Amino acid sequence: MPVAVLIANPQVQPLSRKLADGIRGELDGDELTWLATDEACEFRLKTAPGRARIEMVRRQLRESRTDIAVVSDDHRRKSLLLADMDSTMILEESLDELAAHAGVGDDVARITRAAMNGEIGFEDAVRRRVGRLRGLETSAIDAVLHSSITLAPGGAELIATMKDHGAHTVLISGGFTDFTEVVAHRLGFDEFHANRLLRRDGRLTGEVATPILGREAKVERLNELTRRLGLRERDVVAVGDGANDLGMLRRAGIGVALHPKPTVAAAAEIVLDFADLAGLLFLQGYRRDAFVLPTDG
């Protein structure tokens, strides 16, 4: 049976009972169940609404800064999380931050935007951006990690809660291991996969190791992980924001485009424009009072 989930960011605009009940009535849903006061609720549907209907409701809810998603209540809690890093688990694009440190930020950011919108090929974009960093001292990476990288809200709770319920968590990024290793450790991911910057004599060569982990490679990792762990695609929840994430989002049981680029939002089944990463827990039916708070160390 399909379940509609409404999620707001209470720090921006709380989810009102009147609004939630109005959407429930419009979609002919069953009684409201609150997952978090002023933040998230759900209701069961007799039939799944078509994409056009959900898009209409999404537009209707935009002024209220509220997201809606429809998920299946079958195998709702997932056993494997696949998460993008840049602009997903962290607020920044790590390579853009490194480029800004090197004085070529605007040039690299333009290429990043084009790649995330699907306007140019991801692998080509990686090579072009990394090429701009040729000769940069590798010490700049540590400087950027300590001064410019911010963990996205809700991410620590997402990882801690899913792991507490036995899920395997994987950071899978088209970015670089210098960043993913640190982010994965800070958040408690079980493993990470990313690209590797080549270096020589303490400086970046402007090249990236091959093969480059892009859209197809993320799908291949999903396939490899489900085989290794004895899971199926329906057991996976995946999250990302860019065009290179669409493949794994479409294959996962719950695939979430989080604060996505416009072209990605148009292609994704589930879009969260306002909720933070904790929204992935609400989509799986977790209540706020069941979230596990991360512990230091």
> With 0-12 CB in 10 A as exposed, 13-18 as middle and 19+ as buried, what is 224?
exposed
For residue 177, give the nearest of 213, 132, 135, 140 by alpha carbon.
213
What is the number of alpha carbons within 13 Å of residue 3 lying toward its C-beta? 23
Report the alpha-carbon distance of residue 111 to residue 107 in Å, rounded: 7
141-to-37, 75, 197, 240 alpha-carbon distances in Å: 41, 41, 11, 23
Report the alpha-carbon distance of residue 43 to residue 34 in Å, rounded: 9
- Candidates 21, 30, 73, 86; catalytic one: 86
CA 143, chain centre distance (Å): 25
Residues 6+ apart with CB under 8 A from 1: 44, 45, 72, 73
Q: Which residue in the block uniquely carries the two structure tokens 């596990």?
A: 292
142 is catalytic: no
Phi and psi based region of residue 87 (left: phi greater than 0; alpha: psi -120 to 50; beta: remaining): left
Q: Which two tokens stand for residue 264?
A: 């990605």
Q: Which two tokens stand for residue 287?
A: 């209540």
Phi, psi of 224 (to 5 degrees): -65, -40
Opening angle at CA 270, ends 265 and 275, nearest 5:
90
86 is catalytic: yes
Q: Which two tokens stand for residue 153?
A: 């809200």
Decide: 73 and 64 in contact? Cβ < 8 Å: no
- Candidates 67, 84, 235, 245; catalytic one: 84
Q: Which two tokens stand for residue 152?
A: 């996205």
Catalytic residues: 84, 86
